[in-house]
């Protein structure tokens, strides 16, 4: 979830690894140092409030497909046949989430 939020507005660049021994107490994982450079995107091409809700809902239930994870935001019947809804959140790019947000927003408008 954090990676989607960061990649929406920043270029994320891996710099180097940091071994556990430099921390006290040492973690059980190797850490990484990254560089965040602000990209040119001022605003996403979708309803940003809904975008954040879609991303959060998608990652809150990691083992579920997005069709199931997003059922709190939109009914399964109003979701399109787009195969993107049958994927898990970690498989989608920021652009995919924007597209999905627009599809959900359109289905909500058409349902009214």
Q: Which residue has the tokens 């990209």?
A: 39
> Predicted confidence band at 75 (pLDDT cuts at 50, 70, 90)?
confident
pTM here is 0.84
Both tokens of 3, joined, read 């990676």
DSSP 84: G
82-91 tens-digit pLDDT = 888 999 999 9
pLDDT in the model for residue 112: 60
51-73 tens-digit pLDDT = 999 999 999 987 899 989 998 88
Give DSSP secondary structure letters for 10-56.
EEEEEEEEE-GGGSSSPPSS-EEEEEEEE-S-SS-SS-HHHHHHHHH
pLDDT surpasses 70 at 41: yes
Domain borders along the chain are 10-38, 48-111
CATH number of 48-111: 1.10.8.100
Mean pLDDT of the chain: 91
Q: Which residue has the tokens 């787009």?
A: 82
8 A C-beta contact, residue 63 and residue 97? no
């Amino acid at each position: 979830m954090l990676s989607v939020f960061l990649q929406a507005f920043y270029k994320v660049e891996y710099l180097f690894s940091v071994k556990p021994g430099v921390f006290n107490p040492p973690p059980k994982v190797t850490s990484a140092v990254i560089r965040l450079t602000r990209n040119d995107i001022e605003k996403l091409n979708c309803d940003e409030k809904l975008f954040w809700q879609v991303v959060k809902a998608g990652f809150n239930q990691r083992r579920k497909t997005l069709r199931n994870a997003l059922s709190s935001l939109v009914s399964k019947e109003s979701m399109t046949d787009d195969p993107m809804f049958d994927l898990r959140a970690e498989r989608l790019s920021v652009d995919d989430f924007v597209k999905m947000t627009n599809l959900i927003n359109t289905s909500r408008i058409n349902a009214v």
